[in-house]
Structure 1
Amino acid sequence: MTIDNTTEPTTGTASRASVSRRFVLGSIAAASTLASLPTAAFGRQDDTVGDLETVAEFEPPALPENLAIDERGTVYLSMGPAGEIRAVDSEGNQSSVATLETGEQGLLLGITVLDGVLYAANASGQPETHGIWRVDPDGGDPERIASLSPDESTPNGIIPDPTTSDALLVSDHLGGAIWRVTIGGEAEPWVSDPLLEPDMDAQTPVGADGLAVHPDGDVYVDNLNAGSVMRVPVADDGSAGQVEQVVQDEGLIGADGMTFDEGGTLYVAVNAANEVVRITDDQEIETLASGDPLDFPADVHFGTTEETATSLYIANFAYGTFLEDAEAAEPSLARVDVGTAGYFPETAGETPGTAKEDGSADDDRPGDDANETANDE
Structure 2
Amino acid sequence: MPRHPRLATVAAATAALTVLAAGPASAVDPTVTDPRVVAHFDFAAGETPENIALEPDGSAVLTFALAHKVVRVGKDGSGPTDIAVLPTVTDPPSARVTGIVRAHDGTLYVNYVTGTEEENGIWRVRRDGSAPQRIVSVPVDGFPNGLALDEKCDTLYAADSARGVVWSAPVPKGDQEVEAAVWSSGAALEPTEEVPYGANGIKVHDGAVWVSNSAQATLLRIPVGKDRTAGPIGTRATGLPGIDDFAFTGHGDTALAALVVGSKLELVRPDGTHKTVLTGTDGLDNPTSVAVRAKTVYVPSASYFDTETPDPNLLLARISRNKL
TM over 0.5: yes
* 1:279 alignment counterpart: 268
Change in 2 beyond 3 A, CA 1:238/1:193? same
Change in 2 beyond 3 A, CA 1:28/1:310? farther
| Distance in 2 separating the partners of 1:113 and 1:40 | 32
* From 10, 33, 41, the counterpart of 1:31: 10
> Within the alignment, does 1:112 sit opposite 2:97 as a pair?
no
> Within the alignment, does 1:329 sit opposite 2:310 as a pair?
yes
Matching of residues 99-178 of structure 1 within 5 Å? 99-100=85-86, 101-103=88-90, 104-114=93-103, 115-151=105-141, 153-161=142-150, 163-164=152-153, 166-178=154-166
Change in 2 beyond 3 A, CA 1:190/1:62? same
> C-alpha offsets along residues 92-146 of structure 1, whole Å, 9 cap, x if unaligned?
3210111113541122110110131111111112222111111124411010111
* 1:227 alignment counterpart: 217
Q: CA deviation at 1:32?
A: 3.5
| Distance in 2 separating the partners of 1:256 and 1:206 | 10
Q: Could you say what secondary structure the match of 1:31 adopts?
A: helix
Q: State whether residues 236 and 271 of structure 2, in contact with CA within 8 Å, keep that contact through their aligned partners in structure 1.
A: no
* 2:207 alignment counterpart: 217
Q: CA deviation at 1:225?
A: 0.4
* From 60, 80, 83, the counterpart of 1:97: 83
Q: Could you say what secondary structure the match of 1:273 adopts?
A: coil
* Stretches of structure 2 lacking an aligned partner (at least 5 in a row): none
Q: Could you say what secondary structure the match of 2:314 adopts?
A: strand
Q: State whether residues 213 and 259 of structure 1, in contact with CA within 8 Å, keep that contact through their aligned partners in structure 2.
A: no
> Within the alignment, does 1:253 sit opposite 2:236 as a pair?
no
* 1:14 alignment counterpart: none
Change in 2 beyond 3 A, CA 1:129/1:43? same
* 2:185 alignment counterpart: 192
User: Which deviates more from structure 2 when the two are superposed, residues 29-38 or residues 183-192?
Assistant: 29-38
* From 28, 31, 39, the counterpart of 1:56: 39
Letter in 2 for 1:107: R
Q: CA deviation at 1:291?
A: 2.0
| Distance in 2 separating the partners of 1:175 and 1:316 | 25
| Distance in 2 separating the partners of 1:97 and 1:315 | 17
Q: Could you say what secondary structure the match of 1:242 adopts?
A: coil
> C-alpha offsets along residues 304-351 of structure 1, whole Å, 9 cap, x if unaligned?
xxxxx1211001011111xx34xx21100111112139xxxxxxxxxx
| Distance in 2 separating the partners of 1:47 and 1:178 | 30
Change in 2 beyond 3 A, CA 1:299/1:229? same
* From 69, 83, 94, the counterpart of 2:68: 83
User: Which deviates more from structure 2 when the two are superposed, residues 102-111 or residues 59-68?
Assistant: 102-111
Percent of aligned positions that are identical: 31
Instruction: Give the TM-score normalised by the residue count of structure 2.
Output: 0.86
| Distance in 2 separating the partners of 1:47 and 1:158 | 25
| Distance in 2 separating the partners of 1:27 and 1:255 | 17
| Distance in 2 separating the partners of 1:157 and 1:40 | 23
Instruction: Give the TM-score normalised by the residue count of structure 1.
Output: 0.75
Letter in 2 for 1:197: E
Q: Could you say what secondary structure the match of 1:299 adopts?
A: coil
Change in 2 beyond 3 A, CA 1:38/1:171? closer
